[in-house]
């Protein structure tokens, strides 16, 4: 109803401004969402967005188009066409891209300088392809040494394998007789792969269900998100390390020397002991249902105060998520928090990239699932957002560091820090309920001299749980309310001297 009233009231202004931004409630004064005009006739389900060295945006779309966008003249131009569900671009130069499509990683290059690609060269296709609809491929991303990484979606139990496939079929990669669970009948479905500079594609890490988003942080750690479903109680962010298994069993049949038969038939505790848990869990229906590409804020402040943290898209909500990580007991773990909700942002936030000017560009997609189409950008206005900068585990609770000094009276009131914890089950069933949901009382609060850090002592801390914190009406010393009041910390490991 509210929208209707506004739209009638503002009808006269509609001529001058875009309907989308008017109808959205604009509450965030630190970040502004802008919508990019897409070319007529384009079904702009966006598979990737990147920037060329000359400052143009390059994007690919699910019907196979690759287009460039001049951010100054606002002109779109076709660079390549005919690709099969392209979902990732690595820019080599203004005239050369590596593009991940269904059948292969392809070098797409303009060799005669007319601005249109004329060479489509295979970089690697050394992985299986069954033709199952869910065999999306992600990446490539490049490490500091020049190695490329790609991720291969498992095949969907909602579909099957085609009569003619590419690669050797291993029937053990599927749970027989069951409908629904994802599977891996062809080599390396469900794996992260590493393409060395020698051109050889090697298996790197296993256990992925639907890793629609891979990326590095500034320290060179490799991350992948995955999607809630069978064996994945809630969507995780994985810190991907060589040789590790991240939980979805089908892919294990392609592990070198695998001799334990159908991995779906192994007892769950055995699989559980083999797996590496998510560094961060995104509670389903609370933070994200379908997280996408992690990009690291490398803008040195041009995008605000979160340099070095990860920004991650979400398909199902008008939301971008932020992740902060720390090393505890030698492993990365940390917290996720909404970065931006609404304010004109659409759903389907599938691919993200920072522009040379420090704005964040977002390509949207749906492709049969919940989402949207088009491209938007988020611009930092220069006003520091009132927000949690970081959440760190301590021996007895958590330290919250804020971007701005806080009003002491509200920041030291335990009523303003409501914790609850819960965990998700590792199981073949689709998703997981939240188990052992309990409120966790805050027993002590201290605030630092600069009023930016609040140290909270909790009545108990348990590893293996998500700690969800809801903040009350905390204000900065200048009276600003926080942009986000919900944050979830994934406690895999306690600080070594924690005693409870």
Site for other proteins in 152-181 (CB under 8 A): 156-160, 162-166, 179-180
- CB of 99 or CB of 253, closer to other proteins: 99
Stretch that binds other proteins, among 92-100, 111-119, 191-199, 291-299 (CB under 8 A): 111-119
Q: How far is the CB of 462 from other proteins (least distance, A)?
A: 19
Q: Are 87 and 95 in contact (CB under 8 A)?
A: no
Q: Does 436 bind other proteins (CB under 8 A)?
A: no
Identify the bridge partners of residue 291 per DSSP, sorted by sequence position.
314
Q: Are 97 and 89 in contact (CB under 8 A)?
A: yes
Stretch that binds other proteins, among 59-67, 139-147, 201-209, 384-392 (CB under 8 A): 59-67
Backbone phi, psi, residue 3, to 5°: -60, -40
Q: Please identify which residue in the block is written with the tokens 């209707």.
A: 4
User: Looking only at residues 16 through 55 of this chain, which bind other proteins when binding is defined by CB under 8 A?
Assistant: 39-43, 45
Q: Which of 30, 49, 85, 303 binds other proteins (CB under 8 A)?
A: 85
Containing 283, the helix (H) or strand (E) segment is: none
Q: Are 351 and 327 in contact (CB under 8 A)?
A: no
Q: How far is the CB of 373 from other proteins (least distance, A)?
A: 12
- DSSP β-ladder status, 76-80 and 66-69: antiparallel
Q: What is the largest CA-CA distance in the chain?
A: 71
Stretch that binds other proteins, among 8-16, 82-90, 260-268, 373-381 (CB under 8 A): 82-90
Give the Cα separation of 229 and 9 in Å (integer): 44
Q: Does 118 bind other proteins (CB under 8 A)?
A: yes
User: Looking only at residues 356 through 415 of this chain, which bind other proteins when binding is defined by CB under 8 A?
Assistant: 367-370
Q: How far is the CB of 7 from other proteins (least distance, A)?
A: 15
CA dihedral 447, 452, 453, 459 (to 10 degrees): 60
Q: Does 445 bind other proteins (CB under 8 A)?
A: no
Q: What is the DSSP string of 338-382?
A: EEEE-TT--S-EEEEEE-TTSPEEEEE--TTSS---EEEEEEE-S
Q: Please identify which residue in the block is written with the tokens 């020397």.
A: 257
Q: How far is the CB of 376 from other proteins (least distance, A)?
A: 17
Q: Which of 56, 248, 347, 421 binds other proteins (CB under 8 A)?
A: 347
Give the Cα separation of 224 and 316 in Å (integer): 18
Q: Which of 24, 91, 486, 494 binds other proteins (CB under 8 A)?
A: 486
Q: Which of 36, 48, 104, 442 binds other proteins (CB under 8 A)?
A: 104
Q: Would you give the binding string for other proteins spanning residues 178-197, x where CB under 8 A is met?
A: -xx-----------------
Q: Does 133 bind other proteins (CB under 8 A)?
A: yes
Q: List all residues 6 or more positions away from 160 whose beta carbon is below 8 Å from its beta carbon.
A: 132
- CB of 434 or CB of 476, closer to other proteins: 434
Q: Which of 20, 34, 96, 125 binds other proteins (CB under 8 A)?
A: 125
User: Looking only at residues 262 through 301 of this chain, which bind other proteins when binding is defined by CB under 8 A?
Assistant: 283-286, 289
Q: How far is the CB of 125 from other proteins (least distance, A)?
A: 7
Q: List all residues 6 or more positions away from 409 whose beta carbon is below 8 Å from its beta carbon.
A: none
Q: How far is the CB of 286 from other proteins (least distance, A)?
A: 4
Sheet with 417-424, side-by-side order of all strands? 291-296, 310-314, 319-328, 331-341, 486-491, 465-471, 417-424, 434-440
């Amino acid at each position: 109803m509210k929208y209707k009233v506004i739209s009638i009231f503002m009808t006269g202004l509609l001529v001058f401004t875009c309907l989308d931004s008017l109808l959205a409630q604009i509450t965030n004064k630190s970040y502004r969402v802008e919508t990019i005009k897409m070319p007529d006739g384009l079904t702009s389900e966006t598979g990737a967005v990147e920037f060329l060295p000359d400052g143009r945006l390059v994007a690919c779309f699910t019907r196979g188009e690759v287009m460039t966008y001049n951010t100054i003249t606002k002109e779109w131009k076709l660079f390549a066409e005919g690709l099969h569900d392209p979902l990732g671009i690595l820019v080599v130069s203004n005239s050369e891209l590596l593009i991940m499509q269904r059948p292969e990683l392809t070098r797409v290059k303009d060799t005669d300088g007319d601005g249109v690609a004329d060479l489509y060269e295979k970089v690697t296709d050394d992985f299986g392809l069954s033709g199952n609809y869910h065999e999306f491929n992600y990446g490539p991303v490049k490490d500091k040494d020049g190695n490329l990484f790609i991720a291969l979606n498992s095949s969907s139990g909602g579909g099957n394998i085609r009569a003619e496939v590419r690669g050797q079929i291993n029937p053990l990669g599927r749970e027989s007789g069951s409908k629904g669970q994802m599977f891996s009948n062809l080599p390396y479905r469900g794996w992260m792969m590493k393409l060395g500079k020698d051109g050889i594609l090697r298996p790197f890490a296993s256990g992925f269900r639907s890793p629609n988003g891979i990326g590095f942080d500034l320290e060179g750690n490799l991350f992948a998100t995955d999607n809630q479903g069978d064996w994945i109680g809630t969507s995780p962010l994985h810190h991907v390390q060589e040789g590790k298994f991240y939980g979805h069993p089908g892919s294990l049949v392609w592990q070198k020397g695998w001799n334990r038969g159908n991995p779906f038939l192994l007892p769950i505790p055995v699989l559980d002991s083999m797996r590496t848990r998510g560094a961060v869990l995104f509670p389903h229906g609370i933070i994200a249902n379908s997280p996408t590409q992690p990009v690291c804020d490398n803008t040195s402040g041009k995008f605000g105060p979160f340099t070095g943290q990860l920004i991650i898209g979400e398909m199902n909500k008008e939301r971008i998520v932020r992740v902060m990580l720390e090393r505890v007991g030698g492993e990365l773990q940390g917290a996720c928090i909404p970065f931006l909700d609404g304010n004109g942002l659409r759903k389907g936030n599938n691919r993200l990239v920072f522009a040379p000017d420090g704005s964040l560009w977002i390509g949207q997609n749906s492709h049969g699932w919940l989402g949207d189409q088009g491209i938007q950008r988020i611009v930092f206005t220069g006003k520091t957002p009132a927000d949690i900068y970081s959440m760190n585990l301590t021996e007895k609770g958590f330290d919250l560091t804020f971007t701005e000094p806080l009003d002491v009276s509200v920041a030291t009131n335990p009523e303003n820090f409501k914790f609850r914890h819960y965990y998700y089950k590792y199981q073949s069933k689709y998703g997981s309920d939240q188990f052992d949901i309990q409120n966790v009382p805050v027993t002590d609060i201290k605030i630092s001299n600069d009023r930016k850090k609040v140290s909270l002592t909790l009545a108990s801390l348990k590893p293996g749980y998500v700690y969800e914190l809801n903040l009350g009406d905390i204000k900065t010393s200048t009276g600003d309310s926080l942009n986000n009041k919900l944050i979830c910390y994934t406690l895999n490991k306690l600080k070594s001297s924690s005693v409870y």
